[in-house]
Chains A and B, each alone.
With several copies, the nearest count.
Chain A
Amino acid sequence: MTDTGMLRFHVPEPEVRPGGAPDFSNVPIPRAGSVPRPEIDVDPREIRDLAFSIIRVLNRAGEAVGPWAGLLSDEELLEGLRHMMTLRAFDARMQMAQRQGKTSFYMQHLGEEAVSCAFRKALAPGDMNFPTYRQAGLLIAGGYPMVTMMNQIYSNEADPLKGRQLPIMYSSKEHGFFSISGNLATQYIQAVGWAMASAISGDNRIAVGWIGDGSTAESDFHAALVFASTYKAPVVLNVVNNQWAISTFQGIARGGSGTFAARGLGFGIPALRVDGNDYLAVHAVAKWAIERARRNLGPTLIEHVTYRAGAHSTSDDPSAYRPKAESDAWPLGDPVIRLKNHLIRLGVWSEERHAQAEAEILDTVIAAQKQAEEHGTLHSGNKPSTRDMFEGVYEQMPPHLRRQRQQAGV
């Protein structure tokens, strides 16, 4: 045996822990506008670099620059801002509702609003998302009623899911939003299956998979990439890299690859990284990938580089594992502020109008909340019936469940 000395065990560590000063100076951030926009039918091998860069549109001055800019009208941008502000207000209210005991659990999007809101606007009716629990922007930007979302969160009598699911585990086929599973990554391969089905059926609808940075480590991520690569499925596979998986920093899932987009390289799948806090960049990259899929050019992997500014969920307290100020130090800024500044720069928005919009949106959210609470909250008011608990396990209730329902006296 060659004597090469003792092996040492390597465990990656984040740069800073609570008590330390956050430092993202080693995260390379390319200038906005600097990354080229390849042709839609580019050979994936020619754009391997895009897996290691970051596509950005909005620069520090609030201008939209470079080849990925110019896709959205002022009205569309204003609408986008409103969606993100709505999602943020919605989150704040529901977070509070949970603290008030009106429901058991909540998960917010703070800092990540651009990702799902902007992506949604690049989709066509009939396309299907397979979301995780952190893409409610797909619903908000898709016009799904906030009251219905709240009814689900409250598990009240008007909950479309009859109280059966954890709060925020929405489902709306009509709005292209697949039933959220609490199990990580399972839905990624399902998105590929849905896309395969669309191709098998000669349809032109495409599917969109969503996964978090931490969850890319899960094996179904691999299943999804293998199937997407082999069958050239019309699917966009999104990785939302918000730097954290509960208390675990992204380096544990990512390992030595440098980026999550890099995972696509091993499958011949075009892989792009995008500034996830840049509404315009997310939208432009989404458009590109969606067009590829719809033109039967196959799957695209997109890593959205963002930051989870809030806690993982209402059960989590991030101060135990990361510096409090880390969020402020995050070099890609805040998606709402960045789009606001851009609109102000464009001359179609102002601080006053923003403050006013904020107030209006809050009113709308509060009004929706009031309406939802008329149908009850988790522990008070009307609730889904115990009978509902026995329904829908199968299309037709089998005899043993019927007997159990009788035993339950309902």
Chain B
Amino acid sequence: MARKTMIEAIRDAMDVSMGRDERVIVFGEDVGFFGGVFRCTAGLQAKYGKSRCFDAPINESGIVGAAIGMAAYGLRPCVEVQFADYVYPGYDQIVSEAARLRYRSNGDFTCPIVVRMPSGGGIFGGQTHSQSPEALFTHVSGLKVVVPSNPRDAKGLLIAAIEDPDPVIFFEPKRLYNGPFDGHHKRPVTPWSKHELGEVPDGHYTVPLGKAAIRREGSDVTVLAYGTMVYVAEAAAAETGIDAEIIDLRTLLPLDLDAIVASVSKTGRCVVVHEATQTSGFGAELATLVQENCFYHLEAPIARVAGWDTPYPHAQEWDYFPGPARVGRALVETMEA
């Protein structure tokens, strides 16, 4: 089994899918000849030809809208939005069209598309290369929302997403592309080649949408996280010595509520973490579900650690990013509450 970076794993997922199914096509800004600004599609045009992997005009609404038409035709487009921060011009097509097509036509037309996009901060990308807009999609019925946290999952989830009969929004935490980043930005990052989850099976496999993974078993407190925050939570647990159970949600919609409820019922405490701004972030849904389903098990308020409710700043990146110190503090407070 080869070790791969997350970029390689994502590319591999598209490669495997294109190889197995002629209907799978890939396009987006700079994804054709060049292979994408993060190189996730490098080599695909050379391998599968310009008809199946090509450059798109800079128009996110056009990219998603064309993909919807293609999906209605019978293809399975997997398109890239260059940064999650640039998905908004395509938001109408996603919300009003992709998400509604099956329902409004009673299955006469369907929309099996994947919209991939790098998300999250930690790369000094400022307000337009750092956003985590997942909650803007989890509110939309008809969509599925996926956030992988490692190469092995990324490949399996992306193949599952491409094969899924419904539209999937696929966030790629860009800070994880090259290694599991735990928020200690002054320390060198371990590359994926040194991490167990950098081991990516060859060929076809899927990681099912809607199933969480327990990254660390523990009995003191449940941490709900996804993407980069999984590693931040691991670091915080290690540093505080708190025996946290860390759940990597992987899919936000549909959500693996059973895994969450089982864990919180056991620990009686819960901390929710994400990079996105706090107010109306996906953490609110998680906290609400936990209190709805585990109220009588809860021994302390559910804590949220999230991005502050400001645009993502440039210079103050590490004041903004919810790093291990803030998560650790929340763990301690939750244990002491």
Contact = CB atoms under 8 A, between A and B. Distances in A.
B257 A389 contact: no
Contacts of B110: 395
Contacts of B107: 392, 395
Contact of A164 (B30, B32, B104): B104
A369 B125 CA distance: 23
Interface in A153-208: 155-156, 159-167, 169, 171-173, 178-179, 181-187, 189-201, 207
Interface residues of A, number: 87
Given A171-B108, A172-B108, A186-B96, A194 B59 contact: no
B255 A400 contact: yes
Given A166-B129, A197-B70, A389-B310, A248 B315 contact: no
Interface in A74-128: 104-105, 128
Q: How large is the interface on B (under 10, 10 to 19, 20 to 34, 35 or more residues)?
A: 35 or more
A156 B320 CA distance: 17
Interface string B101-142: 111111111100000000000001111110000000000011
Contact of B106 (A13, A160, A255): A160
Contacts of B129: 166, 182
Nearest to A321: B34
A399 B125 contact: no
A349 interface: no
Contacts of B105: 161, 171, 173, 179
Given A161-B106, A186-B65, A246-B29, A226 B278 contact: no
B96 to A, nearest CB: 5
B126 A190 contact: no
A383 B316 CA distance: 9
Nearest to B36: A247
A247 B56 CA distance: 11
B127 A245 contact: no
A408 interface: yes
Interface in A354-410: 378, 383-384, 386, 388-390, 392-395, 398-401, 404, 408, 410
A64 to B, nearest CB: 36
A132 interface: no
Contacts of B88: 183
Contact of B97 (A160, A186, A223, A394): A186
B37 A389 contact: no
Interface string A211-247: 0001101111011101100100000000000000111
A343 interface: no
Contacts of A348: none
Nearest to A318: B34
- The residue among B56, B93, B101, B105 with the most chain A CB atoms within 10 A of its own CB is B105
Interface string B50-72: 11101111110110011111101
Contacts of B72: 128, 178, 190, 193-194
B102 A197 contact: no
Interface string B1-18: 000000000000000000
Contact of B128 (A166, A171, A201, A321): A166
Contact of A155 (B29, B62, B108, B315): B315
Contacts of B100: 181
B21 interface: no
A389 B316 contact: yes
Nearest to B103: A392
Given A165-B126, A197-B73, A383-B315, A400 B309 contact: yes
Given A393-B142, A401-B309, A11 B51 contact: yes
A324 interface: no
B314 A408 contact: no
Contact of A395 (B65, B165, B254, B278): B165
A9 B50 CA distance: 9
B314 to A, nearest CB: 5
A165 B129 CA distance: 11
A183 B315 contact: no
Contacts of B51: 9, 11, 199-200
A213 to B, nearest CB: 10
A393 B69 contact: no
A315 interface: yes
A384 B33 contact: no
B86 interface: yes
A404 B66 CA distance: 33
Contacts of A187: 97
A130 interface: yes
Given A17-B33, A169-B126, A186-B93, 9 more contacts: A166-B128, A166-B129, A169-B104, A171-B105, A179-B101, A182-B127, A217-B58, A223-B61, A395-B110
11 contacts: A104-B314, A130-B69, A179-B104, A182-B126, A182-B129, A193-B72, A200-B52, A220-B89, A245-B29, A389-B313, A401-B310
9 residue pairs, one from A and one from B, having the closest CB atoms: A193-B69, A163-B315, A182-B128, A193-B66, A223-B62, A217-B57, A166-B126, A189-B65, A247-B34
